[in-house]
Amino acid sequence: MGFFLAARLKVTVFKPTKYVCSQKADGGIMDNEFAERFAMLRQGRGLTQQRLADKLGVTAQAVSKYETGQSLPDVQTLKSIATVLGCTTDYLLGYELAEEERMDMRERERDGEIGRALHRESLTICVGIGALVDMLIEEGKKQYESIHRMRVQLARQYGILVPVIRLMDQVGLGDKQYEIRLFGETVVGSGRLEYPMCFYPEETILKEGDISDREPVYGISGVWRKMEEAEEGASDISDGKKFFSCMEILVRHLERMILENYGRIINRQIIAQMVEHVHRRYPAVTEGVVPERVSLARIQKTVAALVTGKVPVNRLDYIISFLEEHTSDTPEVLEELKAELMG
């Protein structure tokens, strides 16, 4: 489904940059990584094999075998090599990056940071560090399934595709507060969840430990109550469900914000995917029509207007044919299309 909890702690683990040791045909060890780095460092220091051998207290033949990968030095000799050549044993064995490699890695990381700054997910749920982060971690599988079901439901009921939803912790929010943002900046919805309690809508009788409040989606008054006291009920407020978990409220709030702001969320890529679905089922509807006679931009504008007006667009094949027949985009044409879809 494409969502994740963004952590601030970044851990870099260095592993061997290449396959350090390999087996020769005769059963001997051939260490390509060590051999390459050893030879490069010796030559870079301007040392002959004999001169380096004298400094290490080994033979020139031993140095030659090190460079060709025919043998490896013992631990003590390895330490001496590192000292003479001015490097670490980890670098010689391939467990540490060379300075130029480290610089290249830092450059790639900086490029990645710039890319992430330029690209912002259209939908983000930000939660305060504390109880709600615990909720997202402890109910990881449930939240995945809940959001997935919501996206499937929106596709079936309204015919829309929901883009990637990012979950992340946010400094500055209270530990039980959350915000639903567009493109990482614009807050379109917010609320407070008394996790791990459940919310009982329209409950007026308070028990010990209850918290009076209004749920953030519809503003219905009620109480937060300990989860272990909750009883199974219907699946929706309109069905008279007795209680709702924090995750249910969060997902329902997200669904409402998606529908109310779909015109701002939708982009050309999403429209292209929706049109592709139509093309696979009804190729005659799109061939020679999209984008030749009906542009993706026009379809995007129409879909955004319809969804904002709570009109389903799951008959996109009909919408495309309607736009092909009506070349103007006047309010009257849009109202006619709405009437056709709702009729």
pLDDT band of 213, cuts 50, 70, 90:
very high
Residue 30 has pLDDT above 50, yes or no: no
Cα–Cα separations (whole angstroms), residue 179 to 174, 216, 235, 253, 288: 11, 11, 24, 10, 44
Of 9-13, 24-28, 36-40, 100-104, give the lowest mean pLDDT range: 9-13
User: Whole-structure pTM over 0.75, yes or no?
Assistant: no
Residue 26 has a pLDDT of: 42
CATH topology of domain 266-342: Helicase, Ruva Protein; domain 3 (1.10.8)
Residue 6 has pLDDT above 70, yes or no: no
Q: What are the residue ranges spanned by the domains of the chain?
A: 21-93, 123-260, 266-342
Residue 66 has pLDDT above 50, yes or no: yes
pLDDT band of 14, cuts 50, 70, 90:
very low
Of 20-34, 65-79, 115-129, 193-207, give the lowest mean pLDDT range: 20-34
**Burial (CB count within 10 angstroms: exposed 0-12, middle 13-18, buried 19+), residue 298:** middle
Of 121-135, 166-180, 264-278, give the lowest mean pLDDT range: 121-135
pLDDT band of 15, cuts 50, 70, 90:
very low
CATH topology of domain 21-93: 434 Repressor (Amino-terminal Domain) (1.10.260)
Q: List, in order, residues 6 or more apart from 120 with CB less than 8 Å away.
A: 183, 184, 185
Residue position matching structure tokens 């904002």 = 308
Strands 198-201, 221-225: pairing is: antiparallel
Residue 16 has a pLDDT of: 36
Looking at 3.40.30.60, 3.40.50.2300, 3.40.50.720, 3.40.50.1100, the CATH number of the domain 123-260 comes to 3.40.30.60
As given in the structure block, the two tokens for residue 340 are 């056709």
Written as one letter, the residue type at 12 is: T
